[in-house]
Amino acid sequence: MKLFFYAIAASFSVLIFSCASAPKQSGDVTEPSAGDSGGRLISADPAARPEWLSITGYARQGGKWYFVGESSRSRSDEDARAKALLNGLALVSSQFGVKVSSELVTREQDSNGNYSYDIGVKNKLTGAPIRIKDYKLDGTYVEKWDRGAVEFDARALIAIPDEEIARIRKEIEALCGWGVLSSRPDLQEDMTRLVKEFAQTKKLNLQPNSVVISDGYSVPALAGQSPDAAFFLVVKVPPVTPKNVDGEWYADVAVTAEYISLTENKVVSSFSASARGAAYGEAAAVKDGFLKAFQKMMQ
């Protein structure tokens, strides 16, 4: 069972690509936080301001990316922390060119207790949201203010490993490697043409050239053959046994395609079709059946 946590966030329209700043050194912090004008600081948690408050945009250190989210004028400590976290995750979204303008953002808790965050981009083929699956709340800082009423300002430090950032970039670019499994080399030219037409129909970002794959392929092996790709398309044409009936050849041809996520190690979509080819030659009957089956699969 999944639980959804909602928080009202400020309207975001930031696009951050390279405005990183490293944390300041000890003694280089500023006083006090934004949003303090016209009020009296009652308390802060922790009492000492963390050095990471100096980060603007993002910072990279030790194989991780750091983002600092903020919120102000919340009515409770808990609400301030939640809004700061979601603001930080929205900054992560902007790192991938996603313009976050909705006033309602969500994060999702799975049954195993881990959190994920929908960055606002969907897989072009499946429509599934692309999520941040590996992030850590590395620190929070909350100030309690008296501004005629008690209000809370908060900052949240989010840490994301380099590998997770790289995975998300791959999924957004959706580059797709591909290969064909077939015992019919005479169909190679037609297969290449039709696979590229199929990719256009399904809106796949296909790599220009195919890679050689074997019947016993594995997802890790495919990922190794297409290191820049997030997905892989495997097209299969099983062996065909044509039959001659009264001088005319018939061939029942099946075609299947598997769209595989290399980052999640699973098949995310599959397609299949079959057709009977007919001709006065054996090879021509197989080709006729293959072309018909592929056309059906693209519909």
**Which residues neighbour 202 within 8 Å (Cβ) at sequence distance 6 or greater?**
125, 259
User: What span, in angstroms and rounded, lies between the C-alpha atoms of 121 and 195?
Assistant: 26
Secondary element (H or E) of residue 274? strand 266-279
Q: How many CA atoms lie within 13 A of 50 on its CB side?
A: 17
Q: Which of the two residues, 136 and 2, has the higher pLDDT score? A: 136
pLDDT (0 to 100) of residue 107? 55
User: What span, in angstroms and rounded, lies between the C-alpha atoms of 213 and 229?
Assistant: 15
Query: Residues 238-274: pLDDT tens digits?
Result: 999 999 999 999 999 999 999 999 988 999 999 999 9
On average, the pLDDT of the chain sits at: 83
Phi/psi for 64 (5° steps) reads: -135, 155
pLDDT (0 to 100) of residue 152? 97
Grade residue 287 by pLDDT with cuts at 50, 70 and 90: very high
Looking at the chain, list the stretches that DSSP marks H as alpha helix, in order from N- to C-terminal side.
Answer: 77-95, 162-173, 188-201, 219-225, 282-298
User: Mean pLDDT, to the nearest integer, of 88-101?
Assistant: 76
| Lowest mean pLDDT segment, chosen from 21-25, 52-56, 98-102, 253-257 | 21-25
pTM > 0.85:
no
Whether 36 shows a pLDDT value over 70: the answer reads: no
User: Mean pLDDT, to the nearest integer, of 158-182?
Assistant: 91
User: What span, in angstroms and rounded, lies between the C-alpha atoms of 93 and 169?
Assistant: 11
User: What span, in angstroms and rounded, lies between the C-alpha atoms of 294 and 288?
Assistant: 10
Whether 154 shows a pLDDT value over 60: the answer reads: yes
Q: In this structure, what DSSP letter does residue 20 have?
A: B
Tokens in use for 273? 């079709």
Which of these, 8, 44, 220, lies nearest to 145 by C-alpha position?
44
- The CA dihedral of 234, 237, 239, 241, to the nearest 10 degrees, is 170
Q: CB of 120 within 8 A of CB of 16? A: no
Q: Does domain 174-298 have CATH number 1.10.486.10?
A: no
Whether 168 shows a pLDDT value over 90: the answer reads: no
User: Mean pLDDT, to the nearest integer, of 92-115?
Assistant: 57
Query: Residues 106-128: pLDDT tens digits?
Result: 555 444 445 667 777 777 667 77
Parse the chain into domains and list their residue ranges: 3-167, 174-298
Whether 30 shows a pLDDT value over 60: the answer reads: no
How far CA 114 is from CA of 3, 110, 133, 246, in Å, comes to 11, 6, 8, 65
